[in-house]
Structure 1
Amino acid sequence: MNTIDLKEKKFNKLITIISIIVPLVVVVLFNVRIPNVEPLGFLPPIYAGINGLTAVLLVVAVIAISKGNRKLHQTLMTTCIALSLVFLLMYIAYHMTSDPTKFGGEGILKYIYYFILITHIALSIAIIPLVLKTYAKAYLENFEAHIKIAKITFPIWLYVAVTGVIVYLMISPYYIH
């Protein structure tokens, strides 16, 4: 096995561990309430904005690479990963200090909301290993494999980022202030 294969094997182990631990930690922390702490109700619009910014930067990154600007593409994709991490930390902090918000819409709107929410959550879990594998392929300079997996990763990540904003906009009227 050559050095690149060994590095990729190590990356894959780390990616698997992270892809399992992150959702489990989120589920556990989502159910933990920190007593006697002021709810962080100001966070949802901020992390919705981070989702929106991530969506925009993902599109700009694809445009950059299509024009051959690899350095800008790399910077933007690294920024998107960092933004996703910041989002996750804020999301957890909010839910550890605030009671859950119930969607108050009715009729077809309720079904649309739950469809978007459920697909958003499921794909936000699935995107973790996809993003990490896509990034690892580029880091290892296996650009053919990177491009192949990026064609799957990009639309899913974009969907998660955009639906994060939509979910926020749909539930924001029901937040307790």
Structure 2
Amino acid sequence: MLEPSLPKNDKQARWLIGIFSVVVFTAVVVLGRVKLDIGVNFDVHVFAKINAFINASIAVLLVAALVAVKQKSYAVHKRLMMLALLLSVAFLVSYIAHHLLAGEAKFGDADHDGLVSEAEKIAVGSMRMVYYVILITHIFLAAIILPFILFTAYRGLTGEYVQHKKIAKITWPLWFYVAVTGPVVYWMISPYYS
């Protein structure tokens, strides 16, 4: 096992993780409802492509980190997980930038008029329901996963490996689901970007 990287201070950790999680959640919700009407000289959906790439990269890192820990390569596991955390911060910045500049796209809006007509709904058929099931589960889990990720990291960084492993059994599959469904959501909605 590795030596702890952080001193244990559960009270301070709870406060910091709680505040950070609430601030991030609030920023995403509030800024997700705002669209800046500014002219930019590039395709603003490049941020959505970046988001999909980052999410896919995080999914790969999570699998590699799981393999590393199973092989008792704890230093490699730690580096991979820290990289996944850093990529998550980059994702957050790119996600907010995309929503500020692009606004919302509607699944099935083939003519890009901001409305999904009955004919457009019929054209996409049951894929519309599949998309919304994936999207809703992705958004819900993305909204609640951050404090779990941070507490899992905290337990590992303070050397509390029994607790780290216990919470990681919950955090890892949820984070992996969010990371995998992010690119799936992008792939499904990208034809409807205007």
Smaller-chain TM-score range?
over 0.9
- The DSSP-based 3-state class of the residue aligned with 2:34 is coil
Q: How many residues align?
A: 172
Out of 42, 46, 58, the position equivalent to 1:42 is 46
Q: Which residue identity lines up with residue 19 of structure 1 in the other structure? A: S
Out of 79, 87, 101, the position equivalent to 1:83 is 87
Shift in Å, 1:15: 0.9
Shift in Å, 1:141: 0.6
Q: Does the CA contact (< 8 Å) of 1:58 and 1:154 recur in 2? A: yes
Q: For the pair shown, which has the larger CA radius of gyration, 1 or 2?
A: 2
Residue in 2 aligned with 1:22?
24
Aligned counterparts of 1:107 and 1:60: Cα–Cα separation in 2: 37
Residue in 1 aligned with 2:155?
137
Out of 130, 133, 147, the position equivalent to 2:165 is 147
Shift in Å, 1:9: 1.3
Q: Which residue identity lines up with residue 170 of structure 2 in the other structure? A: I
Structure 2: tracts of 5 or more residues without a match: 1-6, 109-120
Aligned counterparts of 1:8 and 1:99: Cα–Cα separation in 2: 39
Q: Which residue identity lines up with residue 65 of structure 1 in the other structure? A: V
Task: State the superposition RMSD in angstroms.
Answer: 1.3
More deviation, 101-110/90-99: 101-110
- State the Cα deviation string for residues 22-43 of structure 1 (Å, max 9, x = none): 1111111112222323262211
Out of 121, 144, 159, the position equivalent to 2:177 is 159
Structure 1: tracts of 5 or more residues without a match: none
Name the structure where helix makes up a greater proportion of residues. Answer: 1
Moved over 3 A (4+): none
Q: Does the CA contact (< 8 Å) of 2:34 and 2:103 recur in 1? A: no
Shift in Å, 1:125: 1.1
- State the Cα deviation string for residues 114-135 of structure 1 (Å, max 9, x = none): 0100000000011101000000
Shift in Å, 1:99: 2.7
Residue in 2 aligned with 1:118?
136
Q: Which residue identity lines up with residue 150 of structure 1 in the other structure? A: A
Q: Does the CA contact (< 8 Å) of 1:37 and 1:97 recur in 2? A: no
- State the Cα deviation string for residues 26-70 of structure 1 (Å, max 9, x = none): 111112222323262211111101100100110000000110111
